[in-house]
Chains A and B, each alone.
Chain A
Amino acid sequence: MSSEHYALKVNGARHEVRDSWIGESLLYVLRERLGFYGTKGACEQGECGSCTVLMDGEAVCSCLVLAATAQGAEIVTVEGLAPEGELNDVQRAFVDKGAVQCGFCTPGLIVAITHLLDNDPQPSESKIKESISGNICRCTGYGRIFDAVQQAIEVRGVNR
């Protein structure tokens, strides 16, 4: 297989990708080459949202992005949302409100909701539902996730 060498900027730091195959997705490279296992894959078809990361401030399915095309972009994964040892408000709310069961959907949802609230700190209920409708959770039935989003919204409102 062809072997490529390039660099990606993930969570503020530059990472070299060596000896990779050009067909590797951003999801694969983040996980298997750079060790960012927080980003999950559950369909690799853009249907489940488990692989959501931020690319230049946009939420994308990393399974649909060719890693080599992400050179130069600012990539943020779930590991980059809060300083080492801390939780951001969405992460905190997920723990507090019981929004985590198996947790496989969780990183993708956390990235998606953090992105939503960063752009709209007071989203309507419909907007919340629509913006996470691309993130499938098979365990929770979403009830506790909605609750967690409300907590994060309230916390942001107070801290503003």
Chain B
Amino acid sequence: MSTTITATRNILGTSVLRPDGTAKVRGEFHFSSDEFATNMLWGATLRSPHPHARILSIDISAALKINGVSCVLVADDVPGKLTYGLISSDQPVFARDVVRYMGEPVAAVAADHPETCKRALEAIRVEYEVLDPLVDPERCLDQSVPPIHPDGNVFRHQRIVRGDQSIQGEVQVEGTYDIGMQDQAFLGLEAALAIPGHDGRSVELHIATQWLHEDRKQIADCLGLPEDDVQLVLGGVGGAFGAREDISLQVHSCLLALRTGRPVKMQYSREESFFGHVHRHPAKIWMRHHATKDGRIQRIEARMLLDGGAYTSTSPAVLINAITHTQGPYVCENATVDGFAVRTNNPPCGAMRGFGVVQACFAHESQMDKLAVACQLDPVEIRIRNAMSKGDLLITGQPMDSVAPVTRCIQETAAIPMPEAVTSDDPLLLPGGSGRTATSSNIRRGVGWGVSMKNLMYSEGFDDYSTARCTLQDGVAHLKFATSEVGQGFVTLAIQIATSILGVDQVELEQIDTRIGSAGSTSASRQTWMSGGALDGACRMVREMLFEKVGKEHHVDPIRLAIVDTDVVDTMGTLRVPVREASAGVSLSHTFEHHHRPTTDLDENGQGNCHVAFAFVAHRAVVDVDPELGLVKVVQIATAQDVGRVLNPLSAIGQIEGGIAQGLGLAVMEEIVIDNGRVRNPSFTDYLLPTALDAPVVEARFIEEPEPMAPLGAKGIGEPPCISVTPAIVAAIRDAIGKDIDRVPVRPQDICL
């Protein structure tokens, strides 16, 4: 991808357009599902129909006899490690003796046509002895319940104990909150093309993923190969939102390709995608807030129980995020929090945008509204009264040393004008939409608030560094990194950084693959900070090399040189050399690794500086509700977000609007419905997503207070938009109908029954 820039050089902070935009609107951009190789086979996965069962036998002979079938693989065919996982390697490549969730892979086939694959899967005979599924997370804590996995039924238990445990507030409010299982529902389904090497042992995988290097490590282990024999190339990614952090079809497609010696393409259907990736953890959270009569929080007690499903994935880290965000963006000196992430026979859960904080936020914001009522305060006033500032201590004892403009976020959101009442009877403006069910006279309007804090980057001592290389040659900056572009626009930012620092006209983005050091994952709102930091470092080093060279050639101290527009300029003299000329015939190159400051583990009382940095946001929701039919229309979301510094306003607003739509989905429509371990709605017909008709008007303000710790002054902006918008919408529904609602998504029956 190459981009020519003609505007002024310092383009950080401007709405530079995406370099891949033109290819995407023409349909020419290559997503991983568009990969093709001559002579390729199709791969497919056989999955368990049961949430919990013993495998008595697997007979693949009939499948192998089908014309066009090249191979069928089961657990015994895995040459390396039999399991994988991000934190704990407990998930089998193929189930061997027992299946622990509905949809767990049991076998894989490769054949000449997707339809042949389907027939082969149907021909595989698996004899199961069906077992009772463990589906109640509460039962996982009961020692007498037999473990469903050798590692036990609890992924992690962590407490936070801080301050005076005896404080009893004059005002106390409590509640128990349920958060449903949400799906990332990216549009571009899981897809990959695995190409075996001519040497018969190596493999190259073209894959849509969030973290190439982590995938490679897990794949190589399962294939029993050194990492160098496994190369990954980023296939075009059709959204991610956390669902591409774990292994799905990576190992299966490589195994099939190596076994058949032919390229193998795998692609999930939407239904399979619901079984093929992890979801947002359903949670049950109890909280009790103790406060003074004037509404100041004195102490919080909480218990959180997260259902992690059958395998670990990132459950331990999601749990830590949830419990360490119990207080939200508010000052709290005393706390007792008990958190559990447990193993059940439900679908595995792991990363999704917001990563544990979404669950905690729904609970703490619901509590803030209860506190406001108990203290006879306005929802805005109670939040401002408790708002955290830089320098406060968190309930983990960690000092808040990020820029923390919580009060400003709330005030600037409150200053956004309210929307007009809907007087027209155009059904598309009313709850129920094209169902044409409501009239404007029977709808009720409500207003609600949500404010949140979100950690940025990885936590608990993990060094999630990023690597980038810049090479300047003949006035062109060539950039190489392994950062997954999943739609967020890192490729745009990369061009902005290189252009601004080096004064070049042209930037070439090299292929995103594993032939450079890791960039870490495109998650945790971290790539602007981490990969942005790595590119910033690499480009600056190259600029120094350029100044050295020009200085030597023209006998000028390099320290006097600067980039002005597209020239190297002597700030104290008359020398002016175009960058193109200065870099003609040479190749100035530097590879830079950016590390954030170290973090630490939590001790047994949940104390420690476990997070790197934080970002804040406020949301105000205005909704119209039809109380008789239980239908909701979200009219407007007002928001002010702490972004540090805006690097690209158009990208930033896109993240904010997109995140708000996902938070709206969790508030009023999106839920994977599970019945005794069985997923009931694995399709877009039954799992409802926000459409253009559901999109509210979004009024957004950026709060720009540059973050000194961040390389570009910018905080990550991807996750905050989807976090506190959910409780804001639910609070608005409560306000409209005057009824307590303690679960999300809010269903019609929660409103009208």
> Could you tell me which A residues sit within 8 Å of B by CB distance?
1, 21, 23, 28, 31-32, 35-45, 47-48, 50, 77-79, 82, 87, 91-92, 94-98, 100-107, 110, 126, 128-130, 132-146
- Which of B17, B27, B236, B428 has most A Cβ within 10 Å? B27
Given contacts A102-B237, A141-B660, contact A79 B685 (CB under 8 A): no
* Interfacial chain A residues near B21, Cβ < 8 Å: 94-95, 100, 103
* Interfacial chain B residues near A132, Cβ < 8 Å: 692
The answer to whether B26 and A78 have CB atoms under 8 Å apart is yes
Residue of A nearest to B663 (CB): A141
Given contacts A102-B486, A142-B695, contact A42 B115 (CB under 8 A): no
CA distance A39 to B33 in the complex (A): 11
B7 smallest CB distance to A (angstroms): 14
| Interface status of B434 (Cβ within 8 A of chain A) | yes
Given contacts A21-B115, A130-B428, contact A43 B31 (CB under 8 A): no
The answer to whether A103 and B270 have CB atoms under 8 Å apart is no
**Main SS class of interface, A:** loop
CA distance A129 to B238 in the complex (A): 23
| Those 7 A-B pairs whose CB atoms lie nearest each other, nearest first | A38-B27, A102-B487, A103-B24, A104-B238, A141-B661, A141-B657, A47-B684
B118 smallest CB distance to A (angstroms): 10
The answer to whether A79 and B270 have CB atoms under 8 Å apart is no
B210 smallest CB distance to A (angstroms): 12
B67 smallest CB distance to A (angstroms): 8
CA distance A18 to B205 in the complex (A): 29
The answer to whether A98 and B15 have CB atoms under 8 Å apart is yes
CA distance A86 to B172 in the complex (A): 65
* Residues 678-702 of chain B, each 1 if its beta carbon lies under 8 Å from chain A, else 0: 0000011100011111010010000
| Interface status of B239 (Cβ within 8 A of chain A) | yes
Residue of B nearest to A97 (CB): B650
Write 17 A-B pairs (CB below 8 A) sorted by A numbering. A21-B115, A32-B36, A37-B36, A45-B684, A45-B685, A47-B684, A47-B685, A48-B187, A87-B25, A103-B20, A130-B692, A136-B691, A138-B187, A140-B654, A142-B692, A142-B695, A144-B657
The answer to whether A126 and B657 have CB atoms under 8 Å apart is no
The answer to whether B426 and A126 have CB atoms under 8 Å apart is yes
Contact of B27 among A45, A79, A126 (CB under 8 A): A79
The answer to whether A130 and B488 have CB atoms under 8 Å apart is no
The answer to whether B187 and A136 have CB atoms under 8 Å apart is yes
The answer to whether B27 and A102 have CB atoms under 8 Å apart is no
Given contacts A129-B693, A135-B692, contact A100 B25 (CB under 8 A): yes
> Could you tell me which B residues sit within 8 Å of A by CB distance?
15, 17-18, 20-22, 24-31, 33-34, 36, 68, 113-116, 184-189, 236-239, 241, 269-270, 426, 428-429, 434, 486-489, 650-651, 653-654, 656-662, 683-685, 689-693, 695, 698
The answer to whether A100 and B24 have CB atoms under 8 Å apart is yes
B38 smallest CB distance to A (angstroms): 12
Contact of B30 among A36, A37, A44 (CB under 8 A): A37
The answer to whether A129 and B692 have CB atoms under 8 Å apart is yes
Residue of A nearest to B186 (CB): A138
Residue of A nearest to B115 (CB): A21
The answer to whether A142 and B657 have CB atoms under 8 Å apart is yes
CA distance A35 to B660 in the complex (A): 36
The answer to whether B693 and A133 have CB atoms under 8 Å apart is yes
B407 smallest CB distance to A (angstroms): 26
The answer to whether B17 and A95 have CB atoms under 8 Å apart is yes
**Main SS class of interface, B:** loop
The answer to whether A37 and B27 have CB atoms under 8 Å apart is yes
CA distance A9 to B661 in the complex (A): 38
Residue of A nearest to B68 (CB): A1
* Interfacial chain B residues near A101, Cβ < 8 Å: 239, 487-489, 654, 658
The answer to whether B270 and A1 have CB atoms under 8 Å apart is no
B622 smallest CB distance to A (angstroms): 16
* Interfacial chain A residues near B660, Cβ < 8 Å: 141
* Interfacial chain A residues near B651, Cβ < 8 Å: 98
The answer to whether A78 and B27 have CB atoms under 8 Å apart is yes
Residue of A nearest to B659 (CB): A141
The answer to whether B270 and A21 have CB atoms under 8 Å apart is no
* Interfacial chain B residues near A133, Cβ < 8 Å: 434, 691-693
CA distance A42 to B238 in the complex (A): 10
Residue of A nearest to B23 (CB): A103
A81 smallest CB distance to B (angstroms): 8
A134 smallest CB distance to B (angstroms): 8
The answer to whether A95 and B685 have CB atoms under 8 Å apart is no
CA distance A47 to B429 in the complex (A): 22
B524 smallest CB distance to A (angstroms): 18
The answer to whether B658 and A141 have CB atoms under 8 Å apart is yes
The answer to whether B22 and A140 have CB atoms under 8 Å apart is no
The answer to whether B691 and A140 have CB atoms under 8 Å apart is no
A113 smallest CB distance to B (angstroms): 11
* Interfacial chain A residues near B29, Cβ < 8 Å: 103
B182 smallest CB distance to A (angstroms): 12
The answer to whether A77 and B270 have CB atoms under 8 Å apart is no
* Interfacial chain A residues near B270, Cβ < 8 Å: 42-45
Contact of A39 among B27, B187, B693 (CB under 8 A): B27
* Interfacial chain A residues near B692, Cβ < 8 Å: 128-130, 132-133, 135, 142, 145-146
- Which of B25, B270, B689, B690 has most A Cβ within 10 Å? B25
The answer to whether A130 and B434 have CB atoms under 8 Å apart is yes
* Interfacial chain B residues near A32, Cβ < 8 Å: 36
The answer to whether A87 and B26 have CB atoms under 8 Å apart is yes
* Interfacial chain B residues near A91, Cβ < 8 Å: 22, 25-26
* Interfacial chain B residues near A35, Cβ < 8 Å: 36
* Interfacial chain B residues near A82, Cβ < 8 Å: 26
* Interfacial chain A residues near B656, Cβ < 8 Å: 141
B658 smallest CB distance to A (angstroms): 4
The answer to whether B18 and A95 have CB atoms under 8 Å apart is yes
Given contacts A101-B489, A126-B428, A126-B429, contact A138 B689 (CB under 8 A): yes
Sample of 19 further A-B pairs with CB below 8 A, known A98-B653, A103-B20, A103-B487: A38-B26, A38-B27, A42-B684, A79-B27, A97-B650, A98-B15, A98-B18, A98-B654, A100-B20, A101-B487, A106-B25, A130-B434, A133-B691, A133-B692, A135-B692, A138-B187, A139-B654, A142-B657, A142-B695
B727 smallest CB distance to A (angstroms): 18
* Interfacial chain A residues near B684, Cβ < 8 Å: 42-43, 45, 47-48, 136
The answer to whether B428 and A140 have CB atoms under 8 Å apart is no
B498 smallest CB distance to A (angstroms): 21
Given contacts A39-B27, A129-B693, contact A137 B15 (CB under 8 A): no
A133 smallest CB distance to B (angstroms): 4
The answer to whether A40 and B18 have CB atoms under 8 Å apart is no
A68 smallest CB distance to B (angstroms): 14
The answer to whether B657 and A105 have CB atoms under 8 Å apart is no
B31 smallest CB distance to A (angstroms): 6
A85 smallest CB distance to B (angstroms): 9
